[in-house]
Amino acid sequence: MAIQLLSLGVIGVRLLDRILTSSATYPEELADQIVDEINVYLGRAREEEKSLLFNLSCEVHEALADRFGRVDSPQARQDVAQMMGLLIYRAKVSSGPAR
């Protein structure tokens, strides 16, 4: 399902859980929750993760708002998880060389 998300380790699991179980109805609500989850983790993130997570949090609001009207169906949540995989790939590319 969301291999790119899970490849992030602990934060990826937390983000996937938030995406799949959130009570959010609208993309802005879900994006806020995703960014909040990133911000909570950021203090414990390894230095090499911080740039990627920052880039990811910058992209998530616009990406969700552009693609979704509502995010309260199981299919929409799966689509969000898949889209996050693309955002993670883009964030990795913008963060610099592979680790």
pLDDT score for 27 = 97
Digit-coded pLDDT (tens) for 32-72? 999 999 999 999 999 888 989 998 999 999 999 999 999 99
Q: Which amino acid is at 14?
A: R
Digit-coded pLDDT (tens) for 18-29? 999 999 999 999
| pTM score, whole prediction | 0.88
Cα gap 53→1, rounded to integer Å: 20
pLDDT score for 62 = 94
pLDDT score for 4 = 84
Residue 10 pLDDT level (bands cut at 50, 70, 90): very high
